[in-house]
Amino acid sequence: MLRHTDTIFALSSGAVPAGLAVIRISGEDVPSVLASLIGELPPPRQAALRSIRTRNGLTIDTGLILFFPAPNSFTGENVAELQLHGGRAVVNALQNELVIFQKLRQALPGEFARRAYENGKLDLIEVEGLADLIAAETEMQRRIALEQSAGGLSSIYNGWADRVTRARALIEAELDFPDEEDVPGSVSDQVWVDVERLVREVADHLEQAGTGEIIRDGFKIVIAGRPNAGKSSLMNALALRDVAIVTDIAGTTRDILQVDLNIDGYLVKLYDTAGLHDTDEVVEREGIRRARKLMAEADLVLYVEDVSAEPSADQAPDGALRVGTKGDLRRRSKSNYELVVSTTAGTGLEALRALIGQHLKTKVHPQSMAIPTRARHRDALAASLAALKASLRAPERGLDLRAEDLRIAGDELGRITGRVDVENLLDVIFGEFCIGK
């Protein structure tokens, strides 16, 4: 049975072999474990070069040792970091030695971060930002994750929650002590004006949720068009590698293919889909159904047409970017398209990437990096906003009912940072981490 009182350890530096490996240990027994491995403990938060030995006195390796006494550590517990050579045999030898200690076990995924949360070192938004920072692949993902992991978003929500708490306190004071001289006499002047201001702030912030989710999860672009229009060739050209099979046979692509691109620091998820046409073939029909569903969910559709073929009666979806392909074989005028490209000659591709970047920035224009990035943030903010608005409706209602609306609004804000009722979320959130974090 796993216990939260156990001391835990893990390889925190990634897969071996590597130039350097870092073993992290956290828990009450860290001082005694360190003393057994290296002898005298190093001064707190100062690196010391020590030999790491088994309990039989055999040297495992020589490396840098760091000791962080509780509560001044990442987890809030006693923490040690052992930096040794990143050979597989070296790391295995140390881990085999560590498992011999009683109450010392291998950490679960995200267990270090979970202990940091449970010991008040991080709130849930900071934990999520840390997970996103580790997983970040683009510059914008890094920037937004760094803002969250550093507490920028938490400070906004905590400030709002404090304002709601103060408003409730003033209302409760007037309800309980209506005749006291030191209790404000006009709740509406002090509370409801600020609640109206708070509604505007939360609403403006909530409008940025779509931007935050796109930065974190990616800008979805679907390449669509008739069979053999050059969709797969275009995907391969934009990805700079062979992602899709390309043949002269119409209908080669039947399922959805996806590749990640980095355009102007943003993550772009590019999808290749089955050619759109009428067919009785069962597999093709399913591929076309999936293609149309994905098109409806996309942030941008590239509707591709072969400019060397006879024009069809098909209409591009509203808002789609019309792209002519096979421009080296062009028969039709360029004026029919926003852009004409040739994957064979390599022309128009950089212009297409630039055009995608323009469309992306038109839809994604963050006012700051302190914006919501997850569906749970958006849902809780929407619930809080609804409760704040409810408190302002029908002023003739009793103050006790309006105070209950404010309580709901404050609780929803608290759920985002982890102040209130989030136990059912913890396993999901910390399960995103790798072992050792």
Do 171 and 223 have their domain in common?
no
Query: Cβ(65)–Cβ(30) under 8 Å?
Result: no
413: CATH = 1.20.120.430
Do 39 and 164 have their domain in common?
no
Does pTM top 0.75 for this prediction? yes
CB burial string 377-393: b at 16+ within 10 A, e below: bbebbebbbebbbbbee
Residue 202 lies in a domain: yes
| Tokens matching residue 80 | 């040690």
Residue 436 lies in a domain: no
Do 182 and 257 have their domain in common?
no
**What does the alpha-carbon distance between residue 141 and residue 147 come to, in Å, rounded to a whole number?**
10
Tell me the average pLDDT across 231-250. 76
Of 336, 363, 390, the residue that ends a domain is: 363
13: CATH = 3.30.1360.120
Contacts of 339 (CB under 8 A, 6+ apart): 321, 323, 324, 348, 351, 352, 355
**What does the alpha-carbon distance between residue 377 and residue 371 come to, in Å, rounded to a whole number?**
9
Do 392 and 265 have their domain in common?
no
Q: Look at residue 311 in the predicted model and tell me its pLDDT.
A: 72
Do 357 and 417 have their domain in common?
no
* pLDDT one-digit tens code per residue, 270-327: 999 888 888 878 888 888 889 899 999 999 999 999 888 777 767 788 889 999 988 8
Do 91 and 48 have their domain in common?
yes
Do 324 and 298 have their domain in common?
yes
Residue 117 lies in a domain: no
**What does the alpha-carbon distance between residue 271 and residue 292 come to, in Å, rounded to a whole number?**
12
**What does the alpha-carbon distance between residue 170 and residue 185 come to, in Å, rounded to a whole number?**
10
Looking at the structure of the chain, the number of domains it has is: 3
- Taking every pair of Cα atoms in the chain, the longest distance, rounded to a whole number of angstroms, is 87
Do 132 and 70 have their domain in common?
no
The one-letter code for the residue type at 428 is V
Domain that includes residue 62, residue range: 7-107
Residue 277 lies in a domain: yes
Do 71 and 22 have their domain in common?
yes
Q: Alpha helices of 51-119 — where are they, by DSSP H?
A: 88-98, 111-118
Tell me the average pLDDT across 32-61. 95
Do 65 and 178 have their domain in common?
no
* pLDDT one-digit tens code per residue, 324-374: 988 877 666 666 788 999 988 889 999 999 999 999 988 888 878 999 999
